[in-house]
A and B are shown apart, each in its own frame.
Chain A
Amino acid sequence: AQKVTQAQTEISVVEKEDVTLDCVYETRDTTYYLFWYKQPPSGELVFLIRRNSFDEQNEISGRYSWNFQKSTSSFNFTITASQVVDSAVYFCALSDSGNTPLVFGKGTRLSVIA
């Protein structure tokens, strides 16, 4: 069965600090896709990244970077030099090769304090 675990419920950092959000997943499939979404207070989920199981290259997009490690079933997300606008709930999600729905983790609430 699929499962996504985000062990950090809430994180609070001071602006300009780096912060890493952890995501650990479980699946029996060899082909699967991992996603990160951001949900600001306005409510809309914003797609951040998709990674397939065959591509273990880390990715960087501006202040955001993602570390995918199949050996530990983790897909962690790092924000460098955090800003107040990064305050949101971040969800990690998993989709396998079948027709099963997207499985979300419970989310990590990030508060960046000025």
Chain B
Amino acid sequence: DTEVTQTPKHLVMGMTNKKSLKCEQHMGHRAMYWYKQKAKKPPELMFVYSYEKLSINESVPSRFSPECPNSSLLNLHLHALQPEDSALYLCASSQDRLAADEQFFGPGTRLTVL
């Protein structure tokens, strides 16, 4: 299984809602990533988990809260988001956090904040 899955595919939420994005991989990868991608821009790294521990937080606002319950799952909890947070949220995984490791990406969740 060489797939990274993400749910939901689309999400519309109000600024007062709480929602979660889910990501799963069964490739035995030990590093998992959250990226945010605005239209016509490259992905921007948000968080990196390595061996289920948060290793990088790219100064992301606290209204985004990541969680790694186990080595296969990665969640992104959303609360009190702003309309400018509307974007494609991509999850990725890699064998390890080594520079040589290619990242495998999921299909993304298209988030719209009203």
- Report which A residues bind B (CB closer than 8 A): 31-33, 35, 37, 42-47, 50, 52, 91, 95-99, 101-102, 104-107, 109
Q: Is B45 an interface residue (CB 8 A)?
A: yes
Minimum Cβ distance to chain A for residue B7 (Å)? 14
- Check A102 against B105 for contact (C-beta < 8 Å): no
- Report which B residues bind A (CB closer than 8 A): 40-43, 45, 48, 55-56, 58, 88, 90, 92, 97, 99-100, 102-108, 110
Task: Specify which chain B residues have a CB less than 8 angstroms from the CB of A104 in the assembled complex.
Answer: 42-43
Given contacts A45-B90, A104-B43, contact A50 B106 (CB under 8 A): no
Given contacts A45-B90, A96-B99, A101-B48, contact A91 B42 (CB under 8 A): yes
Minimum Cβ distance to chain B for residue A112 (Å)? 19
Counted as pairs of residues, one from A and one from B, with CB atoms less than 8 Å apart, the total is: 55
- Check A32 against B99 for contact (C-beta < 8 Å): yes
Task: Specify which chain B residues have a CB less than 8 angstroms from the CB of A102 in the assembled complex.
Answer: 45, 103
Task: Specify which chain B residues have a CB less than 8 angstroms from the CB of A107 in the assembled complex.
Answer: 40-42
Task: Specify which chain A residues have a CB less than 8 angstroms from the CB of B45 in the assembled complex.
Answer: 101-102
Name 22 A/B residue pairs within 8 A (Cβ), A-sorted: A31-B99, A33-B99, A33-B100, A35-B102, A37-B105, A43-B90, A44-B107, A44-B108, A45-B43, A45-B90, A45-B92, A45-B103, A46-B105, A47-B105, A95-B99, A101-B45, A101-B48, A104-B42, A104-B43, A106-B41, A106-B42, A109-B40
Task: Specify which chain A residues have a CB less than 8 angstroms from the CB of B97 in the assembled complex.
Answer: 99
Identify the interface centre among B40, B99, B105: most chain A CB within 10 Å of its CB: B99
